[in-house]
A = this chain, B = another copy of it.
Amino acid sequence: MLSREERNQAIHRATQYLDRARIVLTPEEVENLEVADFGLGDLERTGLEIVVYVNTQRCCAKELVLFPHQTCPEHRHPPVDGDPGKEETFRCRAGVVYLYVPGEPTPNPKAKPPAGDEAHYTVFHEIELKPGQQYTLEPNTPHWFQAGADGAVVSEFSTTSRDGSDIFTDPRIQRTPVVVE
């Protein structure tokens, strides 16, 4: 688990990335910025910084910050209680992000799973997203992503987020549920 100081440092750093992308947050949004280490205790390597703008019973929008080479680990959004599962679009705003989805493994991929965790990564078809580029994922599609050397800011437009229902390939990972309005 992250210490308060680690969390505050990560928030401060994330706001610098958002500032550079000229994304303005309210003080409350900065305070509530989520720093996710996915329970693996190595935020620099596996983690994500998240601003949730809105998350209702129907749709959701977030800003995601990734530090240089930081990885959001492989997961999928399964059907839940009659809902077909989360459909999401990632749109790169700043930096570069490498998104991996099912399909032909890309030769010489730009990113690699965090060393030692390779067993928990199974999809290797690379989608490179530079600023202004986006990709839409159907529900229940396994995916993971990693920022390039300058980090990345990524907007996420989706149906309702129910993070507690996400299924991670790495069985050590448990996401805590989020509040849906």
Contact = CB atoms under 8 A, between A and B. Distances in A.
B53 A157 contact: yes
Interface residues of A, number: 28
Contact of A59 (B22, B23, B133, B157): B157
Contacts of A108: none
Contacts of A155: 61
9 contacts: A22-B94, A23-B93, A29-B132, A53-B91, A54-B89, A54-B136, A58-B58, A58-B59, A59-B158
A9 interface: no
B25 A132 contact: yes
A27 to B, nearest CB: 9
Contacts of A91: 53, 61
